[in-house]
Amino acid sequence: MKQYDIVIVGGGGAGLYAAMEILNTDISLNIAVISKIYPNRSHTSAAQGGANAALANKDKTDTIEKHIFDTIKGSDYLADQDAASILCEEAPRVIRELENLGTPFSRMDDGTIAQRPFGGASSPRCCYCADKTGHTILQTLYEQCLRLGVKFYNEYFLISIEENDGVCQGITALNIQSGEIEIFPAKIVILATGGYAKAYWNRSSNAAGNTGDGIAAALRAGVPLKDMEFVQFHPTGLRKSGLLVTEGARGEGGYLINKNGDRFMSNYAPEKMELGPRDLVSRSIETEINEGRGFDSTAGQYINLDLTHLGAELITKRLPQIRELSISFEGIDPIDEPIPIRPTAHYSMGGIDTDKTGRTIMKGLYAIGECACVSVHGANRLGGNSLLEILVFGKIAGHEAALEAKSLNSVSISNSIIDKHKKYFRSLMQPSQYERYGVIREEMGTTLAENVGIYRTEKNLIQAIYDIKKLIERFKRVKVNDTSTVFNTNLVNVLELRNMLNIALAISAGAYARKESRGSHSRTDYTKRDDVNFHKHTMFTLSDGNLDVSYKPVIMGKYELEERTY
Ligand SMILES: Cc1cc2nc3c(=O)[nH]c(=O)nc-3n(C[C@H](O)[C@H](O)[C@H](O)COP(=O)(O)OP(=O)(O)OC[C@H]3O[C@@H](n4cnc5c(N)ncnc54)[C@H](O)[C@@H]3O)c2cc1C
């Protein structure tokens, strides 16, 4: 049986940075990365706009202090101030480290790393590689992991986290290629499984695999989740597919235009205009549409993102992927015509509750990246801070885990767990099962988008909770039609749906309980931020199969609560 010092689940930017850091700290450690897809296909590769760091290359007056303040203000004061400070303080170091490892950043005329303006930031501080930043970062990290000899298990699906008396023992995973269930005993497990915005299904910018698997597995293993109700809607998804048009398009000077031809952001954020923070810009677009100033089409109502005045040269040089996506998915070349857009579910601010080293309450279990809630983004993440988070906290957790691994006792997982999972999988294939997973998944996405979207009310949230509980009941009779072992993607999709249903319930229950508006969570029945009653993190745990909601204080620092205006 394989035995590991550290197993990392997830081959995105967070997982690979941690893997690299572990072996740079102690090359003698025996580690493995487990990933349901090939690492360089992880959603990190879809990140377009860039990663923030106060390098002050473009604006010499930019400082780390300003970055910290922008992040905390952007979070609507829900971020933990110690974690947000670490994020911004470490930013220049990790960006320079990537630069030294060969990430091909776009450059200013003087040869320094180029920086573009991003929403909610007081200076242009987003470092980028054209509009393919995530792809280039992930590629750099993957090369480093190969160089260091990291062992990869690709196309392995995490089923469960194994523990004994509150101490992590490793994980169980399905080998998708063979259909075998394999156990991975490990003294430390680092979850880096990415976000959960795909629960909104076809109203999402996320990759199909962003189904919150690690988060749901942690919840089942007794580890609390935090702030799950905060789901970020990105203002500019393509009208038909929800695919992302980076904030960089507005950073480069794009306009948002309604059907009357107005640049309506002047009514909502007169100073920052299109570069207001994401929650504000998404709400503004939704309001324009709701009040009849959107364009009509058979694919739904939309707003125009106009780049035509930027010219062909800038668009082809700085926004090549955006042009490609618009042409392929909307049939529109942004050099000649505006791009039809509407807000799309994009990012999970919530996740597995961790401290600022990535540790969870379970000894030996860490979580990093989008699956974790450390929390640096609070109620609303600033664009460019998430790639940064996966780098900074991937590095910190990797280092901490490398130091801790040697001091931990050996672990073991009983083989009987394999039979337990096999029995469950077989039960899904029985003739008595009849529900179709695609239908349940569609209905889950629809109720989330309709009832737990940008604007939320008590009535809608009660509806969402009712719908999702019914879907969880129906899921008990879900059928896996494919009974083969090799590449049973039907089984994998059903396991992903099980995870998303748990997460959909947490999003809705947290949103129902939070009777205020803060950041991405906008209640039309409680329109004000309520610091007296709700300046606190929402916590989620399972007890006897039921989801419990409780609260825990926000870690404050020198920044006092203030009204958030732009
Ligand atoms: C379209 C798009 C554009 C973005 N642009 C930006 C940007 O410009 N700037 C920015 O800061 N942020 C951006 N973000 C956000 C940012 O890219 C992500 O938050 C970040 O890359 C997440 O990295 P991660 O390593 O945590 O997870 P991911 O990159 O999502 O990787 C998750 C990994 O976990 C593995 N995994 C998942 N479930 C399982 C399982 N059950 N078993 C085994 N393995 C599993 C997957 O195989 C994958 O390797 C963007 C996001 C999207 C969707």
Ligand 1 pocket member 12 (CB < 6 A): yes
Name the residue of 20, 38, 44 to mutate for ligand 1: max ligand atoms within 8 A of Cβ: 44
> How many A from CA of 43 to the centre of ligand 1?
4
Q: Is 356 in the same domain as 479?
A: no
3-state secondary structure (DSSP) of residue 159: strand
Assess whether 93 carries a catalytic annotation: no
Whether 520 is in a domain gets the answer yes
> How many A from CA of 212 to the centre of ligand 1?
10
Whether 189 is in a domain gets the answer yes
Distance of CA 517 to the CA centre of its chain: 21
Whether 214 is in a domain gets the answer yes
Q: Is 400 in the same domain as 490?
A: no
Question: In this structure, what token pair is assigned to residue 346?
Answer: 């994009």
Nearest CA to ligand 1 atom 37: 193
**DSSP annotation string for 370-413:** GGEE-SSSTTSPPTTHHHHHHHHHHHHHHHHHHHHHTTSPP---
Q: Is 357 in the same domain as 327?
A: no
Q: In terms of C-beta density within 10 A (0-12 exposed, 13-18 middle, 19 or more buried), how is residue 421 classed?
A: middle
The low-confidence residues of the chain, meaning pLDDT below 50, are none
Report the pLDDT value the prediction gives residue 202, as an integer from 0 to 100.
Answer: 82
> How many A from CA of 195 to the centre of ligand 1?
6
Please check whether residue 460 is in contact with residue 468, taking contact to mean a CB–CB distance below 8 angstroms.
no
Give the pLDDT confidence of 502-517 residue by residue, as tens digits: 999 999 999 999 999 9
Nearest CA to ligand 1 atom 35: 10
Q: Is 61 in the same domain as 171?
A: yes
Please check whether residue 321 is in contact with residue 333, taking contact to mean a CB–CB distance below 8 angstroms.
no
CATH number at 455 reads 1.20.58.100
Distance of CA 345 to the CA centre of its chain: 10
> How many A from CA of 330 to the centre of ligand 1?
25
Which atom of ligand 1 lies at the shortest distance from residue 44's CA? 21
Measured in degrees and rounded to the nearest 5, phi and psi for residue 497 equal -65, -40
Ligand 1 pocket member 502 (CB < 6 A): no
Whether 554 is in a domain gets the answer no
Q: 352 pairs with which residues across the strands?
A: 225, 372
Task: Please tell me the distance from the alpha carbon of residue 387 to that of residue 347, in angstroms, as a whole number.
Answer: 12
Q: Is 86 in the same domain as 31?
A: yes
Q: What is the 3-state secondary structure (H, E, C) of 478-536?
A: ECCCCCCCCCCHHHHHHHHHHHHHHHHHHHHHHHHHCCCCECCEEECCCCCCCHHHHCE
Number of domains in the chain: 3
Q: Which residues have a Cβ under 8 Å from the Cβ of 439 and sit 6 or more positions away?
A: none
Ligand 1 pocket member 236 (CB < 6 A): no
CATH number at 364 reads 3.50.50.60
Q: Give the domain-ending residue among 295, 310, 344.
A: 344
Report the pLDDT value the prediction gives residue 281, as an integer from 0 to 100.
Answer: 95
Q: Is 467 in the same domain as 500?
A: yes
Task: Please tell me the distance from the alpha carbon of residue 263 to that of residue 119, in angstroms, as a whole number.
Answer: 17
Ligand 1 pocket member 394 (CB < 6 A): no
Name the residue of 34, 40, 42, 43 to mutate for ligand 1: max ligand atoms within 8 A of Cβ: 43
Q: Is 63 in the same domain as 106?
A: yes
CATH number at 298 reads 3.90.700.10
Measured in degrees and rounded to the nearest 5, phi and psi for residue 494 equal -70, -40
Q: Is 380 in the same domain as 508?
A: no
Measured in degrees and rounded to the nearest 5, phi and psi for residue 151 equal -85, 125
Ramachandran category for residue 364: left, alpha or beta (phi over 0 → left; psi -120 to 50 → alpha) = left
Whether 411 is in a domain gets the answer no
Nearest CA to ligand 1 atom 15: 386
Give the pLDDT confidence of 1-29 residue by residue, as tens digits: 678 999 999 999 999 999 999 999 999 99
Nearest CA to ligand 1 atom 44: 35
Nearest CA to ligand 1 atom 6: 47
> How many A from CA of 399 to the centre of ligand 1?
21
Ligand 1 pocket member 49 (CB < 6 A): yes
> How many A from CA of 14 to the centre of ligand 1?
8
> How many A from CA of 12 to the centre of ligand 1?
6
Helix (H) or strand (E) holding 95: helix 81-101
Report the pLDDT value the prediction gives residue 278, as an integer from 0 to 100.
Answer: 87
Q: Give the domain-ending residue among 344, 377, 395.
A: 344
Ligand 1 pocket member 231 (CB < 6 A): no
Q: Is 80 in the same domain as 192?
A: yes
Whether 558 is in a domain gets the answer no
Neighbours of 268 (CB within 10 A): 18
Closest by CA to 235, choosing from 185, 199, 269, 260, is 269
Report the pLDDT value the prediction gives residue 302, as an integer from 0 to 100.
Answer: 96
List the domain range (segments joined by +) for residue 378: 4-230+349-405
Ligand 1 pocket member 106 (CB < 6 A): no
Ligand 1 pocket member 39 (CB < 6 A): yes
Whether 414 is in a domain gets the answer no
> Could you say which of 116, 278, 381, 529 is catalytic?
278
Task: Please tell me the distance from the alpha carbon of residue 347 to that of residue 217, in angstroms, as a whole number.
Answer: 19
Q: Is 382 in the same domain as 519?
A: no
3-state secondary structure (DSSP) of residue 239: coil
Name the residue of 319, 386, 500, 503 to mutate for ligand 1: max ligand atoms within 8 A of Cβ: 386
Measured in degrees and rounded to the nearest 5, phi and psi for residue 538 equal -85, 135
Ligand 1 pocket member 44 (CB < 6 A): yes
Whether 172 is in a domain gets the answer yes
Ligand 1 pocket member 36 (CB < 6 A): yes
> How many A from CA of 295 to the centre of ligand 1?
32
Report the pLDDT value the prediction gives residue 1, as an integer from 0 to 100.
Answer: 63
Q: Is 362 in the same domain as 483?
A: no
Ligand 1 pocket member 205 (CB < 6 A): yes
Q: Is 370 in the same domain as 462?
A: no
CA distances from residue 53 to 91, 109, 114, 274, 418 in whole angstroms, order as listed? 5, 19, 11, 21, 45
Ligand 1 pocket member 519 (CB < 6 A): no
Question: Which pairs from 427-433 meet CB under 8 Å and 24+ separation?
Answer: 428/478, 428/479, 428/480, 428/491, 428/494, 429/479, 429/480, 429/481, 429/483, 432/477, 433/477, 433/478, 433/479, 433/480
Alpha carbon dihedral 429, 434, 439, 444, in 10-degree steps, equals: -80
Rg of the chain in Å (alpha carbons)? 22
Q: Which residues have a Cβ under 8 Å from the Cβ of 146 and sit 6 or more positions away?
A: none
